[in-house]
Amino acid sequence: MNRCLAFATAATLSLAAASLAAQTTVKWMHIETNNANIANYFKQTAEAFEAKNPGVKVEIQVLENEAYKAKLTTLLQSSDKPHVIYSWGGGVLQAQVRAGVLQDIDDAMKGAWADSLSPGAVDAFRYQGKVWGAPMLMSQVGFYYNKALFQQAGVDAAGIKTWDDLLGAVKKLKAAGITPIVVGGADKWPVHFYWTHIALRLGGKPAFEAAQRGDAGGFGNDVFVKAGEVFKQLVDLQPFQPGFLAATAPQSYGQFADGKGAMTLMGNWLYNSQRGNAADKKGLSDDAMGWFAFPAIPGGKGDPRETLGGINGWLVTKGAPKEAVEFLKFLTRPDAQREMAAKGFFIPVAKGADRDMVNPFFKLNAMNLAASPYHQIFYDQMLGPSVGRVVNDVSTDIAAGKMTPKDAAAAIEDARKN
């Protein structure tokens, strides 16, 4: 064999070996809303995993919240489905299990992996006796407010403890010519935070669980009718920004960041998202922004310490390569969660990771979550796609003046029964 032929043969073999070594691709689809720091961190995490696992490539697709939800259902039925996907748990997860599009990670989760995470967070991804996903973060919904606008209107955030206090603050802000609240009504789910939070304060965990079972009229009973009536007290004050029904959630984040409204009821992801959606890409600083919990409602049976939010994480789709589970372990490992907590990305679920948090808002939320006797997962996720969609629709219809509280509750119960 001459030297040229030998060289060509060696090169061909080398290329073939390289091709064989890079056959496994893990397709990872996640959500991000204009936070380059988080997206870059996830990219670096994927690269670090690739470096530790030669021959494995992590292919990343990043989508905005609504685009993700719209695309995921179709993708899960296709041959090109992602292997690792973002999840809010609850009824949507359960529907995906029943549809046969997920693979459980129960065996892999046993032992050290599960032991490193909050047991309650792991349980949020348990269904039919198996664990189907790995939790990574928790969230709490509450009111973020603009300190300067509150001061201008003479509103003391520390004094907003009850529903009447909130209504009084709205009236003061309107009298000062300030839009009290911004909300992304076009996406609907931000509006459901009001109706569901009120229901939580009125009935607590027992009312929700009874309604899920269909007891005493299910979601059509007095607790949920009254939730709509209490919400309507706020709606009648016309507290939202002009055109709120056409504003998406990211647009509302930007409006709040730009000082176009005094408050917004949102999860702790707003902290980073309001900056990315601000006109100046800086948004409100820590000193310019405050936070308070959703107020108590006099006569309500729910504990005011109860929280509304999510326990979010990752799922593995059926047919994914075994490396997808290994990547999920790598992604949710305690030291990674500690680093992300220290960077102020979110509230982690790894045991002890919250000690590295420096973000004052996230630290406050973490304390609230630790003290909460019950954490209510978002209705639109907990109740599954069919019922959850109706909750979002009727909440927005009440806000728009298109539906009565009684009809709204009845529509949710009809969806539950069907």
Instruction: Please report, for the domain that includes residue 157, its CATH number.
Output: 3.40.190.10
Q: Which pLDDT value is given to residue 11?
A: 43
Note whether 134 and 166 are same-domain residues. Answer: no
Residue located via tokens 């905005």? 64
Note whether 153 and 243 are same-domain residues. Answer: yes
* Residue 14 pLDDT > 60: no
Question: Are 378 and 189 a contacting pair, CB within 8 Å?
Answer: yes
Residue located via tokens 């809303």? 33
* Residue 166 pLDDT > 50: yes
Question: Are 314 and 328 a contacting pair, CB within 8 Å?
Answer: yes
Question: Regarding predicted confidence, which is higher, 333 or 71?
Answer: 333
pLDDT tens, 372-402? 999 999 999 999 989 999 999 999 999 999 9
Top-confidence range, 68-82, 117-131, 397-411: 397-411
- In three-state secondary structure terms, 255 is helix
Note whether 387 and 369 are same-domain residues. Answer: no
Give me the count of residues in the chain. 418
Q: Which residues pair with residue 102 across a beta bridge?
A: 317
333 inside domain:
yes
**Range 325-352 average pLDDT:** 93
Indicate the residue type of 60: I
43-47: long-range pairs with CB below 8 Å, 24+: 45/330, 45/331, 45/336, 46/327
| Torsion, CA 376, CA 381, CA 385, CA 391, rounded to 10 | 50
Q: Which residues pair with residue 316 across a beta bridge?
A: 84
Note whether 225 and 251 are same-domain residues. Answer: yes
**Rounded Cα distance, 238 and 225, in Å:** 20
Note whether 122 and 251 are same-domain residues. Answer: no
The tally of domains found in the chain comes to 2
134 inside domain:
yes
pLDDT tens, 89-148? 999 999 999 999 999 999 999 999 999 999 989 999 999 999 999 999 999 999 999 999
For residue 224, the number of C-alpha atoms closer than 13 Å in the C-beta half-sphere is 30
**Range 180-199 average pLDDT:** 98
Note whether 254 and 325 are same-domain residues. Answer: no
Report the greatest alpha carbon distance in the chain: 93
pLDDT tens, 41-58? 999 999 999 999 999 999
220 inside domain:
yes
Note whether 177 and 270 are same-domain residues. Answer: yes
- 66 pLDDT band, cuts 50/70/90, is confident
Residue located via tokens 């073939």? 16
Among 41, 136, 129, smallest CA distance to 88 is for 136
* Residue 10 pLDDT > 60: no
- Domain range for 30 is 23-138+310-375
Note whether 147 and 276 are same-domain residues. Answer: yes
14 inside domain:
no
**Rounded Cα distance, 154 and 399, in Å:** 26
Note whether 151 and 276 are same-domain residues. Answer: yes
Q: Which pLDDT value is given to residue 15?
A: 43
- 20 pLDDT band, cuts 50/70/90, is very low
- Domain end marker among 357, 375, 393: 375
Among 236, 268, 249, smallest CA distance to 143 is for 268
Q: Which residues pair with residue 314 across a beta bridge?
A: 86, 134
6 inside domain:
no
11 inside domain:
no
Note whether 413 and 346 are same-domain residues. Answer: no
1 inside domain:
no
Q: Burial of 127 by CB count in 10 Å (0-12 exposed, 13-18 middle, 19+ buried)?
A: buried
Note whether 33 and 70 are same-domain residues. Answer: yes
Q: What are the φ and ψ backbone dihedral angles of 140, each rounded to 5 degrees?
A: -130, 135
Note whether 366 and 248 are same-domain residues. Answer: no
Q: Which pLDDT value is given to residue 157?
A: 98
Q: Which pLDDT value is given to residue 401?
A: 97
* Residue 296 pLDDT > 50: yes
16 inside domain:
no
